[in-house]
A and B are shown apart, each in its own frame.
Chain A
Amino acid sequence: MNAVFGYIGVYFLRFLHESGRISILFGQTIFLIFRPPFNIREALSQMEEIGVRSIPVVVITSAFTGMVLALQTFTGFKRFNAETLVGTVVALSVTRELGPVLTGLMVSGRVGSAMAAELGTMRVTEQIDALYTLATNPVKYLVVPRFLASLVMVPVLVVFADVIGIMGGYFVSVKVLGTNPTVYIRRTWDYMELSDIYSGLLKACIFGMIMAIISCYQGFYTEGGAEGVGKATTRAVVLSCLVILISNYFITAILF
């Protein structure tokens, strides 16, 4: 019994320790964003990596999600003759919930892992130490551009996800299930409010920050050679995804 409490205690302390260090890195990053010099070129190249290169993944994910959502909702709603509301359900689910969450998860897998691996490799091959010796702040040089690029590009990806998801739902409803297109579109627009989109984009910003800071943290403090880089990469993805899912609930509960 004591051993169990011992384990819980150790894990709890480690959790507090890690959260503390992640918060410190977050604080430093925010502080350094506003300090010159501004490395715009690096931020742009990260934006390309995070944003442009993630478009295919996000498009496929959201298209099929919108499509399956239309199928499932149609099956359920037919039972009480509410098929015409499928468009509403697809639009609301995608903009408020699935767009940001799925994009957050996919980007964590694609980009978070790469960030952790890249920074982790730089740590274990002493490139981060070399940055210090060249009187460069590695947080400024490495973390800030990745953080900014994620903060900007994840919401952009979510806009893509929203549009493609809704189009996927439309496609299945109209072409496969035979819903009247005019009705479908009217139902989609009638019940959708601007706040649905805003709330989704706000989530996207938060998820982008979570993904970037957790992944950079894991890479930045990697220990133990190639094996350590592997572990850091895995932890970056798993932890980013978990924190995105958990915070998603609380953001929804508190704000909307």
Chain B
Amino acid sequence: MIGDTSVKIKVVDLHKSFGKNYVLRGINLTVNKGESMVVIGGSGVGKSVLIKCVIGLIKPDSGSIGIDGQEITSLKEGSLNEIRKKFGMLFQAGALFDSLSVWENVGFGLKHHTSLGDGEIKAIAVEKLGLLGLRSVEDLMPSELSGGMRKRVSLARAIAMEPEILLYDEPTTGLDPIMADAINDLIVQMRKKLEVTSIAITHDMVSAYKIADRIAMLYEGKIIEVGTPKQIRESSNAIVQQFIQGKAEGPIKAR
């Protein structure tokens, strides 16, 4: 990992269990600079846990995570905070601050890490919300939004600081197909224009094919296959095939 400047995120032999629940069992994953990686996998396999490890919210039991060649698993909270300034994260359930208005949510990072005034922050927030098809919502409170709107506000918050790395936990779930496609376009644009490196989690294969440079499939605590959308579609692995075709029969048992 050291010296290799094209690698942005490198996860090596990552293990994590919660009590008896052994979730990640040796994850290996490399994401290159400017690459869009999509992680697919069944519900509860640990996709969210994986990206929370990458941003240092969950401490893994063992293994290493390198961000720009810097090992983060052993970092103290203070230095971890510095690393986190490179990141933006979209939480699966939004995680909007419900005591702050929509624009204050979107502008939270700007307010705390730049010297911009409230007026400028609000203008930026409105612009980002506009990119996501949200108009005149900036003064609402999160409790006044629909589920899909919350998701987009949360996405606006994640991109507001124009971070180098974006982690999307199911960016399109809960959105109608047209809006979902607009979000996919936005994610593609972010990568092209800003050269963002991203990891996106999704169940939505349409979205995965559209936004991914490479797709990784997580199954039983391991990444069982990584490849371009084309390679994944043509995979000879029965587990991968069952998942991408969404069949109830096959090696993966619906629990």
Residues of A that sit less than 8 Å from B by CB: 37, 118, 121-122, 125-127, 129-130, 132-137
B4 in the interface, Cβ–Cβ < 8 Å? no
Cα A127 to Cα B109 with chains together (Å): 14
- With a cutoff of 8 Å between Cβ atoms, the chain B residues found around residue A127 in the complex are 95-98
Cα A65 to Cα B201 with chains together (Å): 60
Cα A133 to Cα B157 with chains together (Å): 11
- With a cutoff of 8 Å between Cβ atoms, the chain B residues found around residue A129 in the complex are 52, 57, 91, 95
- With a cutoff of 8 Å between Cβ atoms, the chain A residues found around residue B89 in the complex are 130, 133
In contact, B85 and A135 (Cβ under 8 angstroms): yes
Counted as pairs of residues, one from A and one from B, with CB atoms less than 8 Å apart, the total is 51
- With a cutoff of 8 Å between Cβ atoms, the chain A residues found around residue B112 in the complex are 37, 134-136
CB 8 Å contact bits of B157-175 with A (1 = contact, 0 = none): 1000000000000000000
In contact, A130 and B95 (Cβ under 8 angstroms): yes
- With a cutoff of 8 Å between Cβ atoms, the chain B residues found around residue A126 in the complex are 91, 93, 95
Q: Which of B85, B88, B99, B112 has the most CB of A within 10 A?
A: B112
Are A130 and B91 CB-contacts (below 8 A) given A135-B113, A137-B77? yes
Given contact pairs A121-B98, A134-B112, enumerate 11 new A-B contacts (beta carbons under 8 Å). A125-B93, A126-B91, A126-B93, A127-B96, A132-B55, A133-B87, A133-B89, A134-B84, A135-B81, A136-B108, A136-B112
- With a cutoff of 8 Å between Cβ atoms, the chain B residues found around residue A37 in the complex are 112
Cα A136 to Cα B81 with chains together (Å): 7
Can you list 30 A-B pairs, Cβ within 8 angstroms, ordered by A? A37-B112, A122-B97, A125-B93, A125-B95, A125-B98, A126-B91, A126-B93, A126-B95, A127-B95, A127-B96, A129-B52, A129-B57, A130-B89, A130-B91, A130-B95, A130-B96, A130-B157, A132-B57, A132-B81, A133-B57, A133-B87, A133-B88, A133-B89, A134-B84, A135-B81, A135-B82, A135-B84, A135-B112, A135-B113, A137-B81
